[in-house]
């Protein structure tokens, strides 16, 4: 229903809004007006002019955070709750519970400079570690469904890592931390007039807090900007990342994270994750007859190999995909002052997945006779994505602004099984109790989705604005949900996940203060999950409601405060039996009702800044039956920077100042009961920053 209403509203409103109008500008503090974002329209625009729930972490804040894991930055934003697993792994939520499972990553779109890190249909819950967030100029988060410029996977929101502009730069940062932790970060760039370039790099070597949990990671980005004699602007570069990680698994037992000895152990010392990714892109911008045309061809490659230590038999997954894509958009200011954007997105992806178990299955007699040694899956998938979009924005002289968007997207999968079809071992021999893994026969699948958006904005006064957004998000099933099947399921007859969102927000800013409050209600249908028979089905309806508050205030000339508070309620809305009970109306697991943080910043002199951060995580259920839970935690962090001279800055970050024993993530399964990724104890990181240019 909401789609029909929105499509009708857009058609009528576009005709009315095309009449001559007078554009209005939003008033507010200079700080807000100076912030530029690219996540809503894929080109730079003022934050104050956007009708979207967008939050930005700027370069000054990111430099102070000096993140060792992107969670430390993202969790400062309203609506965002990232659970850190081990090493660089994570599970995320944006206006949602923390999702798990094969397609959980499909609920969010993660991009770098507007290029998605993974192809639609080939996401991974840990894909954020591919982004060069350590050297980012800013990180932008859109909460709620993405705009017409973003398609499948931007269901609950999107994260865009924006890299610095190329040009004159020269700096080096050396950091030392606990347990053999060392990091280096640097940049070197030149400005030759109409040609600018810069290289940004960082490397990390860490032994890890827990046994056999070391991390080695390297990232490098080369960026350039070139303006031709005829005014064409070329802006692009490449990013390459490499991760070699020893992975620590869950510690098991009620409140095991509080056990001083157990929390440092690793029940899976054999586990590892190796990941390599690269992206190359060029953005071509040209003015043609009043249109600003932007073409962005790009190429992406991802390779990842890891032990699935969380599965019986501990099979190894080897996954890769390569994509060639094009983002094309045209922007025009109409005679009425309205803004019009139209465009298409095209992407062709070739992916491959192998799952191989080198050793016999250990455990019960049933497991040994249902999970064979050897190859489980070996398939290739070609995916073709084609989308068209239109976006229209206008302002009226009575203080109202209207934003209308529409996206039509098609994605087709061409699946090729490279093994014997069916539920056997790799040689075609049936298992005694039926093999767990089932390989579908070759097939093609296609999904078409339409996503409208309507936004209204009204200027209450020179310091406040009211916004209403009604929009829809969607995602096509992921390739693994369609073709990585189990037990008796030989065909996954799945539909796209759909989410309807309504949001009311008020934002304001003035001299030395700003605030925002957002109230949202979202209904999600066709949710994909694995039932008790290990079948992937569309049989989950959930409701997501929440209130997000953000406030900043300069208390004195050298003291300021910033706070984020979240209240959310995520519930199952359809009848479903889990653990012998009907979970309709229950809270979705790993969905805290409250979480947030408060930061007090003290700047006694122009050379010294110190931040005290309080991080709160509320309690949450860890199973759908709501019979197991985690009590939550509170953490204190201190970050400080001292400018020694114009070239050298010293920094000291102390995390978990009170040495709280807590869980980064709590979970529960029928087989293990309570299990946790324990949080790290108090730790300090000291760094020297040298600006040599």
Q: Among 122-126, 250-254, 412-416, 599-603, which is the least confidently predicted range?
A: 122-126
Element (H, E) at 445: strand 443-461
Residues contacting residue 13 through CB under 8 Å, at least 6 positions apart: 402, 404, 454
Which of 589, 376, 451 is closest to 152 using CA atoms?
451
Cβ 608 vs Cβ 640: under 8 Å: yes
Structure tokens, 451: 């996503």
Counts for the chain of helices (H) and strands (E), in that order: 6, 40
Which of 229, 241, 225 is closest to 281 using CA atoms?
225
In three-state secondary structure terms, 644 is: coil
> What's the per-residue H, E or C state across 202-215?
EEEEECCCCCCCCE
**What letter does residue 102 receive in the DSSP assignment?**
T
**Burial classification of residue 676, based on how many CB atoms lie within 10 Å of its CB (0-12 exposed, 13-18 middle, 19 or more buried):** buried
- What's the whole-model pTM score? 0.92
**Burial classification of residue 191, based on how many CB atoms lie within 10 Å of its CB (0-12 exposed, 13-18 middle, 19 or more buried):** middle
| Nearest-angstrom CA–CA distance, 98 and 607 | 40
The pLDDT of 648-652, averaged and rounded, is: 98
Banded model confidence at residue 34, pLDDT cuts 50, 70, 90 = low
If one counts the domains in the chain, the total is 1
- Given a cut of 70, whether residue 40 has pLDDT beyond it is no
End-to-end CA distance of the chain: 58
Q: b or e along 524-559 (b: 16 or more beta carbons within 10 Å of the residue's beta carbon)?
A: bbbbbbbeeeebbbbebbbebebebbbbbeeeeeee
Residues contacting residue 578 through CB under 8 Å, at least 6 positions apart: 532, 624, 625
Q: Among 93-102, 197-206, 229-238, 496-505, which is the least confidently predicted range?
A: 93-102
User: DSSP readout, 325-378?
Assistant: EEEEEEEEE-TTS-EEEEEEEEEEEEEEEEEEE-SPPPSSHHHHTTS-SEEEEE
Decide the pairing of beta strands 157-162 and 108-112.
Answer: parallel
In three-state secondary structure terms, 17 is: helix
- Given a cut of 90, whether residue 51 has pLDDT beyond it is no
Banded model confidence at residue 45, pLDDT cuts 50, 70, 90 = low
- Given a cut of 50, whether residue 28 has pLDDT beyond it is no
Query: pLDDT tens across 265-319, in order?
Result: 999 999 999 999 999 999 999 999 999 999 999 999 999 999 999 899 999 999 9
Element (H, E) at 536: strand 536-554
Query: pLDDT tens across 411-457, in order?
Result: 999 999 999 999 999 999 999 999 999 999 999 999 999 999 999 99
Q: Among 579-583, 613-617, 620-624, 629-633, which is the least confidently predicted range?
A: 579-583
Q: Among 7-11, 207-211, 356-360, 485-489, which is the least confidently predicted range?
A: 7-11
**What letter does residue 94 receive in the DSSP assignment?**
B
Residues contacting residue 671 through CB under 8 Å, at least 6 positions apart: none
**What letter does residue 479 receive in the DSSP assignment?**
H
Cβ 168 vs Cβ 199: under 8 Å: no
- Supply the range of the domain harboring residue 511: 2-691
Which runs of consecutive H residues, i.e. helices, occur in 234-277? none
In three-state secondary structure terms, 447 is: strand
Cβ 465 vs Cβ 507: under 8 Å: yes
Query: pLDDT tens across 466-477, in order?
Result: 999 999 999 999
Banded model confidence at residue 76, pLDDT cuts 50, 70, 90 = very high
Question: Mean pLDDT in the chain?
Answer: 91
Cβ 233 vs Cβ 284: under 8 Å: yes
Which of 325, 449, 310 is closest to 384 using CA atoms?
325
Confidence (pLDDT) at 47? 65
Confidence (pLDDT) at 153? 83
CATH of residue 247: 2.40.170.20
Q: Among 9-18, 227-236, 587-596, which is the least confidently predicted range?
A: 9-18
Which of 575, 570, 456 is closest to 52 using CA atoms?
456
Q: How many CB atoms lie within 10 A of CB 492?
A: 20
| Residue found by looking up tokens 């953490």 in the block | 635
- Given a cut of 70, whether residue 693 has pLDDT beyond it is yes
The pLDDT of 161-166, averaged and rounded, is: 96
More confidently predicted of 591 and 29: 591
| Nearest-angstrom CA–CA distance, 278 and 4 | 40
Structure tokens, 127: 């894909």
Give the distance, in angstroms, between the CA of residue 567 and the centroid of all CA atoms in the same chain.
20
Confidence (pLDDT) at 25? 28
Cβ 82 vs Cβ 69: under 8 Å: no
Element (H, E) at 142: strand 138-143
Angle, alpha carbons 605-659-139 (nearest 5°): 55
Query: pLDDT tens across 563-575, in order?
Result: 999 999 999 999 9
Element (H, E) at 288: strand 272-288
Banded model confidence at residue 16, pLDDT cuts 50, 70, 90 = very low
- Given a cut of 70, whether residue 661 has pLDDT beyond it is yes
Residues contacting residue 63 through CB under 8 Å, at least 6 positions apart: 641
Q: Among 31-35, 435-439, 531-535, which is the least confidently predicted range?
A: 31-35
Q: Among 121-130, 412-421, 611-620, which is the least confidently predicted range?
A: 121-130
Banded model confidence at residue 532, pLDDT cuts 50, 70, 90 = confident
Structure tokens, 591: 């969905």
- Given a cut of 80, whether residue 22 has pLDDT beyond it is no
Confidence (pLDDT) at 39? 64
Confidence (pLDDT) at 103? 73
Structure tokens, 350: 């070739």
- Given a cut of 80, whether residue 43 has pLDDT beyond it is no
pLDDT above 70 as % of the chain: 93
The pLDDT of 578-604, averaged and rounded, is: 95
Residues contacting residue 1 through CB under 8 Å, at least 6 positions apart: none
In three-state secondary structure terms, 101 is: coil
- Given a cut of 50, whether residue 217 has pLDDT beyond it is yes
Which of 626, 43, 469, 641 is closest to 285 using CA atoms?
43
Confidence (pLDDT) at 71? 95
């Amino acid at each position: 229903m909401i789609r029909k209403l929105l499509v009708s509203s857009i058609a009528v409103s576009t005709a009315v809004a095309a009449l001559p109008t007078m554009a209005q500008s939003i008033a507010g503090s200079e700080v807000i007006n100076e912030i530029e974002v690219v996540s809503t329209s894929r080109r730079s625009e003022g934050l104050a002019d956007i009708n979207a729930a967008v939050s930005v972490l700027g370069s000054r804040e990111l430099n102070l955070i000096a993140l060792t894991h992107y969670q430390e930055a993202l969790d400062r934003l309203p609506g965002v709750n990232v659970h850190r697993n081990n090493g660089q792994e994570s599970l995320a939520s944006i206006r949602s519970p923390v999702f798990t499972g094969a397609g959980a990553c499909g609920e969010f779109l993660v991009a770098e400079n507007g290029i998605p890190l993974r192809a639609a249909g080939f996401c991974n819950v840990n894909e954020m570690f591919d982004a060069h967030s350590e050297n980012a100029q800013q990180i932008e988060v859109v909460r709620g469904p993405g705009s017409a410029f973003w398609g499948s996977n931007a269901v609950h929101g999107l994260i865009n890592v924006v890299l610095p502009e190329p040009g004159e730069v020269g700096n080096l940062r050396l950091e030392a931390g606990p347990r053999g932790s060392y990091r280096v970060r640097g940049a070197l760039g030149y400005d030759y007039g109409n040609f600018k370039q810069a290289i940004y790099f960082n490397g990390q070597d860490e032994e890890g807090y827990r046994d056999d949990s070391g991390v080695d990671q390297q990232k490098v980005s080369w960026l350039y900007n070139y303006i031709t004699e005829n005014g064409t602007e070329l802006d692009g570069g490449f990013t390459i990342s490499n991760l070699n990680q020893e992975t620590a698994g869950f510690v098991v037992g009620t409140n095991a994270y509080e056990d001083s000895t157990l929390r440092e152990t690793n029940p899976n010392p054999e586990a590892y994750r190796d990941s390599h990714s690269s992206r190359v892109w060029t953005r071509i911008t040209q003015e043609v007859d009043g249109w600003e045309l932007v073409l962005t061809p790009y190429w992406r490659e991802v390779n990842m190999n890891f032990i699935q230590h969380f599965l019986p038999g501990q099979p190894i997954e080897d996954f890769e995909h390569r994509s060639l894509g094009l983002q094309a958009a045209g922007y025009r200011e109409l005679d009425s002052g309205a803004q019009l954007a139209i465009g298409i997105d095209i992407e062709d992806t070739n992916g491959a997945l192998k799952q191989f178990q080198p050793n016999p299955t250990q455990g019960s007699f049933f497991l040994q006779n249902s999970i064979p040694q050897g190859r489980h899956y070996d398939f290739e998938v070609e995916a073709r994505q084609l989308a068209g979009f239109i976006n229209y924005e206008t302002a009226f002289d009575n203080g109202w602004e209207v934003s209308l968007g529409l996206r039509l997207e098609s994605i087709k999968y061409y699946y090729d099984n490279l093994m014997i079809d069916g539920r056997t071992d790799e040689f075609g021999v049936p298992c005694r109790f039926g093999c767990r893994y089932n390989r579908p026969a070759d097939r093609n699948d296609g999904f078409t989705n339409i996503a409208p958006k309507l936004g209204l904005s009204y200027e209450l006064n020179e310091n406040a604005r009211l916004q209403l957004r009604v929009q829809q998000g969607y995602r096509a099933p992921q390739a693994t949900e369609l073709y990585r099947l189990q037990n008796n399921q030989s065909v996954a007859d799945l539909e796209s996940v759909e989410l309807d969102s309504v949001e009311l927000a008020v934002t304001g800013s003035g001299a030395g203060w700003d605030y925002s409050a957002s109230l949202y209600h979202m209904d999600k249908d066709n949710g994909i999950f694995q039932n008790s028979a290990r079948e992937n089905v569309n049989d989950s309806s959930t409701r997501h409601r929440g209130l997000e508050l953000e406030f900043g205030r300069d208390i004195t000339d050298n003291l300021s405060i910033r706070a984020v508070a979240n209240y959310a309620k995520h519930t199952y809305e359809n009848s479903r039996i889990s653990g012998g009970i009907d979970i309709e109306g229950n809270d979705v697991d790993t969905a805290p009702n409250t979480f947030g943080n408060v930061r007090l910043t003290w700047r006694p002199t122009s050379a010294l800044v110190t931040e005290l951060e309080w991080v709160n995580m509320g309690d949450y259920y860890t199973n759908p039956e709501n019979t197991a839970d985690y009590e939550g935690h509170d953490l204190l962090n201190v970050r400080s920077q001292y400018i020694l001279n114009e070239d050298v800055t010293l920094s000291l970050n102390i995390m978990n100042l009170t040495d709280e024993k807590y869980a980064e993530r709590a979970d529960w399964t029928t087989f293990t009961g309570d299990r946790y990724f324990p949080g790290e104890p108090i730790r300090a990181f000291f760094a020297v920053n040298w600006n040599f240019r």
